């Protein structure tokens, strides 16, 4: 206590000056609107800067949460897109399949991705606990990625489209001429669409999509664009080079899709005919 008193006595002149200056400034700001507005404006500016910086920091650390929200929204939108019927179908409201959910979609994350081998695979986070199982399609926001071939409780193994054992039914989007999408084990950005009939009006830059003639991928999932093509005159079929929309070397967030009528269709296909 004595030290505080000695400090006040020693610095009394400076303290008195600060007190009087504070009182004078307060009276000035109260008496003059211009000075008062300047003070408020400066205080708001400083407060805004501090809060803005704080908000930026909060947003940075909240990016993961926001990213998860966006993924969930994308999952919902993709589910709606895959289950949207055509305008022609909506003219027949008495058909049951119009109101049915045709595809179920589940978001997942890529753990490992191989693309530099002849036969490549992915490991994704998501397994049987997420209703992921073998023979489900895997896509991203840009196009197809592969097919689930095995699943544990927490993880699933996916055969990549960059695999020489993979064959995907695909078509020219503008004409609906079909072919088979394969990979020759070379460029991870290019695949081949083979067995396209010579009657197809093939053009550079045309879009290639899934054909829908399977129980794995729905129709019109994007694949890529035509970058080159050759016609085998003897066989009468095109071999088309397709540049993928997906960057298969940079995959993170993906979606697993399931045709909910797949099991029923398999049962019908496997029935023994009399």
Name residue, tokens 């999408």. 181
Contact 229, 239 (CB under 8 A): yes
Nearest to 39 by CA among 20, 25, 24, 60: 25
How many Å is the Cα radius of gyration of the chain? 32
Domain locations in the chain as residue ranges: 2-61, 66-270
Q: For residues 15 and 1, what is the distance between their CA atoms, to the nearest angstrom?
A: 18
Q: For residues 44 and 59, what is the distance between their CA atoms, to the nearest angstrom?
A: 22
The β-bridge partners of 240 are 193, 229
Q: For residues 217 and 224, what is the distance between their CA atoms, to the nearest angstrom?
A: 15
What was the pLDDT predicted at 44? Answer: 42
What was the pLDDT predicted at 101? Answer: 65
The β-bridge partners of 224 are 208, 244
Pair of tokens at residue 90: 């909506």
Q: Write down the H helix ranges in the chain.
A: 2-10, 12-31, 33-61, 63-82, 262-270
The β-bridge partners of 15 are none
Is pTM beyond 0.85? Reply is no
CATH of segment(s) 66-270: 2.40.10.340
Mean pLDDT by 10 residues, the chain (274 residues): 68 72 66 50 46 49 57 59 47 34 86 94 93 93 93 94 96 92 96 95 95 88 95 92 95 90 78 50
Q: How many CB atoms lie within 10 A of CB 219?
A: 15
């Amino acid at each position: 206590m004595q030290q505080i008193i000695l400090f006040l006595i020693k610095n009394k002149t400076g303290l008195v000056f600060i007190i009087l200056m504070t009182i004078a400034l307060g009276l000035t700001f109260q008496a003059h609107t211009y000075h008062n507005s300047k003070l408020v404006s400066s205080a708001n500016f400083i407060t805004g800067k501090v809060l803005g910086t704080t908000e930026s920091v909060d947003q940075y650390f909240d990016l993961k949460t926001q990213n998860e929200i966006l993924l969930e929204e994308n999952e919902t939108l993709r589910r709606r897109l895959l289950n949207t019927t055509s305008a022609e179908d909506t003219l027949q409201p008495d058909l049951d399949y119009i109101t049915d959910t045709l595809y179920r979609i589940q978001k997942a994350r890529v753990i490992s991705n191989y693309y530099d081998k002849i036969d490549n695979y992915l490991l994704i986070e998501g397994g049987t606990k997420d209703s992921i199982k073998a023979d489900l399609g895997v896509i991203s926001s840009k196009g197809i990625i592969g097919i689930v071939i095995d699943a544990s409780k927490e993880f699933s193994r996916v055969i990549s489209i960059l695999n020489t054992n993979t064959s995907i039914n695909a078509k020219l989007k503008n004409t609906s001429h079909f072919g088979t999408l394969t990979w020759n084990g070379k460029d991870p950005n290019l695949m081949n669409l083979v067995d396209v009939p010579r009657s197809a009006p093939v053009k550079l830059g045309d879009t290639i999509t899934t054909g829908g003639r399977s129980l794995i991928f729905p129709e019109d999932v994007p694949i890529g664009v035509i970058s080159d093509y050759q016609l085998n005159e003897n066989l009468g079929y095109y071999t088309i080079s397709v540049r993928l929309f997906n960057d298969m070397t940079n995959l993170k967030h993906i979606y697993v899709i399931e045709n909910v009528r797949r099991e029923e269709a398999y049962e019908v296909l496997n029935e023994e005919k009399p």
